[in-house]
């Protein structure tokens, strides 16, 4: 058994057993019923042991959360169809968008395709910021209009006559040559809406891989899955994120308990490119009200002016534990939700720091 197949088997066994514990709840049933199966968290199709083999029509695949290109690792399984479609339609746009921002900020180790223009002549190429901060331009004539590329090169590097100083002593010192002004335009290839939905997908899968199948018993998440599966439809409002610098101890899954209009799961995670590590905080609806109305609240109350959020809320962190291996934790996400959102809940006092 190869390493990938072995990893898939371990994850299948873990989530399959967790699902059996969830199914023991008297209000939960599947028709037709099944045993020892795996529920793809995106499409909700049921898979079995045989679907771990790549020869299956739609096999289970390792799901990297976030994508490996952004610093992730395999934490769960999704079916090949959901994995490949999301990777092609979402993850690639998120990666490209972050790389484009890196280049526009002139961050070291960043590069982007660009169009260079000189006196109306355009040529395609690459713009790169090297590790030491030095800028590098790569003019790629083979990717450009041949006529414009030739004119561009002639004006960029005009022919210069070299004089023999023995016969032309007055031409011994040549006039100073200056590079003509060039306009550069970044080639944007990412779709910003799809990049945002990719963030939503990452947060959803982080919560699932942390809290297990019990987390999926949530009607608000139906709309989240529908949005992920249909990125070109506007099923949810545009904004899923909360723009705020959260402390590192809140990385993972949290619950916003106050204000009530914003009661939700909040997933905080980092994405890494070669140039920078960025933190994202994505809101997911809870199993009770306000559910998906949180997105309207974020749009109307937290996204004004320059887009920097003044965030004043009570956030409770769900401790990082191996919940999936314990029957008593089959509905751990719901148990924390009930505790943190109940009417008489009082936030725990924050520990004092040395500076206080």
Return the closest-CA partner of residue 216 out of 333, 64, 318, 76.
Answer: 333
pLDDT tens string, the chain, 356 residues long: the values are 688 999 999 999 999 999 999 999 999 988 889 999 999 999 999 999 999 999 999 999 999 999 999 999 999 999 999 999 888 899 999 999 999 999 989 899 998 888 988 888 888 988 899 999 898 888 887 888 888 888 887 777 766 666 666 665 565 555 555 667 888 888 888 999 999 999 999 999 999 999 999 999 999 999 999 999 999 999 998 889 998 999 999 999 999 999 999 999 999 999 999 999 999 999 999 999 999 999 999 988 887 655 455 678 999 999 999 999 999 999 999 999 999 999 877 776 654 544 44
Residue 158, burial from CB neighbour count under 10 angstroms (0-12, 13-18, 19+): exposed
Nearest CA to 246 out of 306, 190, 317, 173 is that of 317
pTM for the model: 0.88
Residue 265 burial (C-beta neighbours within 10 Å; 0-12, 13-18, 19+): buried
Instruction: Of 212, 215, 205, 201, give the one whose Cα is nearest residue 15.
Output: 212
Instruction: Please report the sign of the dihedral spanned by the C-alpha atoms of residue 27, residue 28, residue 30, residue 36.
Output: negative
The secondary structure of residue 212, as a DSSP letter, is -
Backbone dihedral region for residue 173 (phi beyond 0: left; psi -120 to 50: alpha; all else: beta): beta
């Amino acid at each position: 058994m190869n390493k990938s197949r072995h990893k898939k088997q371990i994850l299948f066994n873990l989530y399959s057993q967790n699902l059996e514990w969830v199914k023991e709840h008297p209000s939960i049933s599947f028709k037709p019923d099944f045993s020892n199966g795996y529920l793809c968290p995106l499409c909700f199709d049921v898979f079995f042991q045989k679907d771990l083999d790549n020869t299956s029509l739609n096999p289970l695949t390792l799901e990297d959360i976030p994508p490996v290109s952004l610093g992730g690792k395999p934490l769960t399984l999704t079916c090949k169809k959901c994995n490949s479609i999301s990777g092609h339609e979402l993850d690639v746009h998120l990666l490209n968008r972050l790389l484009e921002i890196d280049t526009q900020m002139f961050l070291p180790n960043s590069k982007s395709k660009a169009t260079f223009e000189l006196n109306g002549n355009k040529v395609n190429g690459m713009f790169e910021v090297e590790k030491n901060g030095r800028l590098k331009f790569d003019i790629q004539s083979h990717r450009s209009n041949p006529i414009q590329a030739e004119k561009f090169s002639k004006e960029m590097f005009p022919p210069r006559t070299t004089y023999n100083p023995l016969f032309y002593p007055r031409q011994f010192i040549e006039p100073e040559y200056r590079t003509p002004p060039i306009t550069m335009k970044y080639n944007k290839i990412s779709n910003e809406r799809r990049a945002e939905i990719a963030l939503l997908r990452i947060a959803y899968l982080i919560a699932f891989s942390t809290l297990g199948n019990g987390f999926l018993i949530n009607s608000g998440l139906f709309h989240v899955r529908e949005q992920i599966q249909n990125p070109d439809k506007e099923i949810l409002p545009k904004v899923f994120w909360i723009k705020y610098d959260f402390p590192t101890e809140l990385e993972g899954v949290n619950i916003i308990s106050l204000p009530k209009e914003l009661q939700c799961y909040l997933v905080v995670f980092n994405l890494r490119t070669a140039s920078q590590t960025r933190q994202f905080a994505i809101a997911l609806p809870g199993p009770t009200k306000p559910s998906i109305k949180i997105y309207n609240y974020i749009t109307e109350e937290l996204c004004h002016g320059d887009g920097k959020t003044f965030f004043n809320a009570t956030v409770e962190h769900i401790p990082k534990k191996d919940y999936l291996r314990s029957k008593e934790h089959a509905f751990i996400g719901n148990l924390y939700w009930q505790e943190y959102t109940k009417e008489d809940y009082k936030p725990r006092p924050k520990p004092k720091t040395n500076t206080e």
